[in-house]
């Protein structure tokens, strides 16, 4: 998980370009947040269901990471209220 998070935030290949003595402390500092990842990777609620359930204010930034920007786009298109 540390490698994926590092590369997602700092760019592909960053983890492998980082010296081992810097990788280990970073990986160790990550809390065991498998519940959060489970919600992201195993969620199967459709956008149509979310649209019926939520009145949502979506805020994002120009430099939002691409995976998050894609989620924002889906919500903005589906939740037009």
For the entire predicted model, the pTM comes to: 0.46
Residue 40 has what pLDDT? 65
Residue 73 has what pLDDT? 87
For the chain, 81 residues long, the average pLDDT of each consecutive 10-residue run is 82 91 87 67 78 74 83 81 64
Residues whose CB falls within 8 Å of the CB of residue 37, separated by 6 or more in sequence, listed in order: 1
Report the C-alpha gap between 12 and 34 in whole angstroms.
Answer: 22
Report the C-alpha gap between 39 and 6 in whole angstroms.
Answer: 20
């Amino acid at each position: 998980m540390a490698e994926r998070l590092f590369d997602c935030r700092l760019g592909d290949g960053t983890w492998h370009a980082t010296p081992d003595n810097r990788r280990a402390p970073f990986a160790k500092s990550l809390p065991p947040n498998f519940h959060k990842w489970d919600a992201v990777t195993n969620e199967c609620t459709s956008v149509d269901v979310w649209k019926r359930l939520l009145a949502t204010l979506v805020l994002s930034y120009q430099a939002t990471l691409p995976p998050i920007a894609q989620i924002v786009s889906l919500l903005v298109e589906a939740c037009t209220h």
